[in-house]
Amino acid sequence: MNKRKLDPAALLNPVPVVLVSCGSKDGKKANAFTVAWAGTICSKPPMVSISIRPERFSYGLIRQTGEFVINLVGENLLRACDYCGVRSGEKEDKLQKMGLHVYPVEELKYAPALVESPVSLVCRVLSVQEYDGTHHVFSAQVLRVYADEQYFDRNGKLCLEKAGLVCYSHGDYYSLGDKLGFFGFSVASDAVYRKRMQIKSRKRKKKS
Amino acid sequence: MNKRKLDPAALLNPVPVVLVSCGSKDGKKANAFTVAWAGTICSKPPMVSISIRPERFSYGLIRQTGEFVINLVGENLLRACDYCGVRSGEKEDKLQKMGLHVYPVEELKYAPALVESPVSLVCRVLSVQEYDGTHHVFSAQVLRVYADEQYFDRNGKLCLEKAGLVCYSHGDYYSLGDKLGFFGFSVASDAVYRKRMQIKSRKRKKKS
């Protein structure tokens, strides 16, 4: 064993890539921005958290309205997503600049969802934790999910693997690569394993 | 635009795959378990959150000790990680069963880190949010990071891309695939873009 000790750092990787959309209280402005830190925090009811720097333009919008939408990012959205992470919505209309479109969702009054996103999670803020650090943590309940029709199969199953979702690790964006297993594969029967991994032959893949 | 409306669900994908290690207050037992929901919540100071179901064996250990370690998972650890997510440490020694080893970290009294993990984040609990749902949210400060020597280059840079980290999306585990860009690539100069993407020719890759 040979370990190097490092100063504390935000090294939990890989992380999801998301575009968060929100709106102004006067209903005149919609904005989209990238948050570095977003995650699920509860399965039932589904809850998420996003962390936002107080100095960001959208911080004020979300504090005022208590609403946001988390839009998952496929490869086709990545360039726009990166742009929305480095530019501020205070100075320009990033949505227009990047050719993005929004649609209203009936569950919220101010925040719209992004047309170009494969899956959008409609969220209402439950609490804000103001830790003494760079980011404040917005915890929210997921009220509804909108998913693009093209990702459903004929049985109505959402095939998210077709959406080309992107992840972020240590400064770089990556596509998802090989399917390595499924939840519970380590204790699954051979029959279940072959079916879920779509293995035709009887020989099980080398154990990872 | 053609969107299908779905019931609220934990559809924020992809997510990191991690093994959390912890210890008992009497110092006699170390355990490792998988949490579905883990994420960074603040950059400086680095803070993370993990969500745990109260009925899980490790929930009590972490509540009592206020300590845990988040161990990132490379492909070599995936099978053990999945196993530690579906079996309980109350009934068996999962570490021994999966051939995993732990080492003590000087920052903590009870929770050890996993030898087989490329990067381990040593964490002390700051608060626990007991939302009325399946999971409670443990927010924690990262006190130190331990990283395996084999992932550093000769200049002392951590090359996390060599660790073969795994992500999880909608029920399945995936390797990281192609590098699609880097933070800020949408506004980078051609020279910076080519260098960071390790493109030899003068022609820029088709914009995504």
pLDDT at B200 over 80: no
Helix H or strand E encompassing A145: strand A136-148
CB pairs under 8 A between A and B: 352
pLDDT at B89 over 70: yes
Please name the residue of chain B whose CA is at the shortest distance from the CA of residue A136: B42
Q: Cβ of B179 under 8 Å from any chain A Cβ?
A: yes
Q: Cβ of B144 under 8 Å from any chain A Cβ?
A: yes
Rounded Cα distance between B13 and A101, Å, is 22
* Dihedral angle, C-alpha A62, A66, A72, A77, nearest 10 °: -30
Which amino acid, residue A91? K
The encoded tokens of residue A62 equal 């979300």
Strand partners, A149: none
Cis peptide before B104 (omega within 30 of 0): no
pLDDT digits (tens, 9 = 90+) for A9-38: 999 999 999 999 999 999 888 999 999 999
Which amino acid, residue A35? V
3-state SS, one letter per residue, for chain B: CCEEEECCCCCCCCEECEEEEEECCCCCCEEEEECCCEEEEECCCCEEEEEECCCCHHHHHHHHHCEEEEEECEHHHHHHHHHHHHCCCCCCCHHHHCCCCEECCCCCCCCCEECCCCEEEEEEEEEEECCCCCCEEEEEEEEEEEEEHHHECCCCCECHHHHCEEEEECCEEEEEEEEEEECCHHHCCHHHHHHHCCCCCCCCCCCC
Mean pLDDT across chain A:
94
Complex-level ipTM = 0.93
The pLDDT value recorded for residue A170 is: 96
The pLDDT value recorded for residue A112 is: 97
Please name the residue of chain A whose CA is at the shortest distance from the CA of residue B185: A82
**Chain B closest CA to A110's CA: distance in Å?**
18
Which amino acid, residue A164? G
Under the banding of pLDDT at 50, 70 and 90, the label for residue A204 is low
pLDDT digits (tens, 9 = 90+) for A39-86: 999 999 999 999 999 999 999 999 999 999 999 999 999 999 999 988
pLDDT digits (tens, 9 = 90+) for B127-140: 999 999 999 999 99
Helix (H, G, I), strand (E, B) or coil at A94: helix
- Are A75 and A116 in contact by the 8 Å Cβ rule? The answer is no
Residue whose structure tokens are 């910076």: B192
The pLDDT value recorded for residue A42 is: 97
Q: Cβ of A119 under 8 Å from any chain B Cβ?
A: yes
Rounded Cα distance between A15 and A32, Å, is 19
**Chain B closest CA to A100's CA: distance in Å?**
12
pLDDT digits (tens, 9 = 90+) for B160-196: 999 999 999 999 999 999 999 999 999 999 999 999 9
